[in-house]
């Protein structure tokens, strides 16, 4: 039996209403959830995710502490229904070091165990996939320096922003003759694992050469030369 005109309109309205609300055939919303509320919890009640693959060295925690003191606690810690930290482990550690009474959190309930494990990785890795425009960064650092702002609060370490502030971003002249021994500033974007390997290789080169004052550039030159001679 065919539905009456009234029944057909009712069914059509229901289907349209579900789609308008972002519902999928499975009943799950296809839109991002924006109904999270900020809560305030004692930081010592939060449980760090024990398999968090991103490690926070002490000097980075100090950077976060100084950032919170300067700018405030601008990003809530993300936790699950059991008060386990999903994102914001560094901010959590900084809050404990500062002796904070309460910290802002957003509670994300309903994630599966697989989703939680994946999100802990994704929250860090997706951020790391971004790329700096080094010339723009240099310009911003120069402007902040003119304003007498503490450049340590940018997250760059002194030797990093010193190199950037000394960098010459003028395109090289192809016809210009370079002098022997003239120094260049080379910025390489590497992963944490790649950086660890490079540091180990440089340390080994200094040890084997007996020259503890060897620059990174000189060590890399020897390493590359030895590789090419193989």
Cα(24)–Cα(32) distance, rounded to whole angstroms? 13
Contact present, 40 and 105 (Cβ < 8 Å): yes
Q: What stretches in the chain show pLDDT beneath 50? A: 2, 5-30
In the chain, % of residues over pLDDT 90: 51
Q: What is the pLDDT of residue 16?
A: 44
Q: What is the pLDDT of residue 177?
A: 57
pLDDT tens per residue, range 182-211: 566 666 767 777 888 888 888 889 888 888
Return all residues near 51 (Cβ < 8 A) that are at least 6 apart.
117, 120
Q: What is the pLDDT of residue 77?
A: 97
CATH class of this structure's domain 38-128: alpha beta
Contact present, 108 and 139 (Cβ < 8 Å): no
The full set of domain ranges for the chain reads 38-128, 131-166, 190-230
Cα(86)–Cα(118) distance, rounded to whole angstroms? 10
pLDDT tens per residue, range 107-120: 999 999 999 999 99
């Amino acid at each position: 039996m065919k539905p009456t005109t009234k029944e057909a309109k009712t069914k059509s309205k229901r289907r349209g209403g579900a789609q308008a609300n972002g519902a999928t055939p499975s009943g799950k919303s296809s839109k991002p959830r924006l109904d999270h509320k900020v809560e305030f919890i004692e930081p010592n009640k939060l449980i760090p995710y024990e398999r968090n693959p991103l490690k926070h060295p002490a000097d980075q925690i100090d950077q976060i502490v100084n950032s919170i003191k300067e700018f405030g606690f601008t990003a809530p810690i993300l936790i699950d229904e059991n008060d386990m930290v999903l994102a914001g482990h560094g901010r959590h550690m900084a809050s404990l070091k500062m002796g904070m009474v309460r910290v802002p959190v957003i509670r994300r309930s309903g994630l599966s165990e697989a989703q939680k494990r994946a999100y802990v990785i994704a929250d860090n890795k997706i951020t790391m996939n971004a790329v700096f425009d080094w010339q723009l960064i240099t310009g911003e650092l120069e402007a902040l320096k003119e304003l007498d702002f503490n450049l340590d609060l940018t997250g760059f370490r002194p030797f990093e922003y010193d190199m950037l502030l000394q960098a010459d971003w003028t395109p090289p002249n192809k016809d210009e003759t370079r002098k022997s021994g003239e120094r260049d500033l080379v910025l390489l974007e590497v992963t944490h694992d790649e950086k660890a390997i490079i540091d180990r290789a440089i340390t080994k080169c200094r040890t084997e050469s007996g020259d503890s004052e060897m620059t990174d550039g000189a060590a890399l030159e020897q390493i590359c030369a030895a590789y090419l001679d193989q």
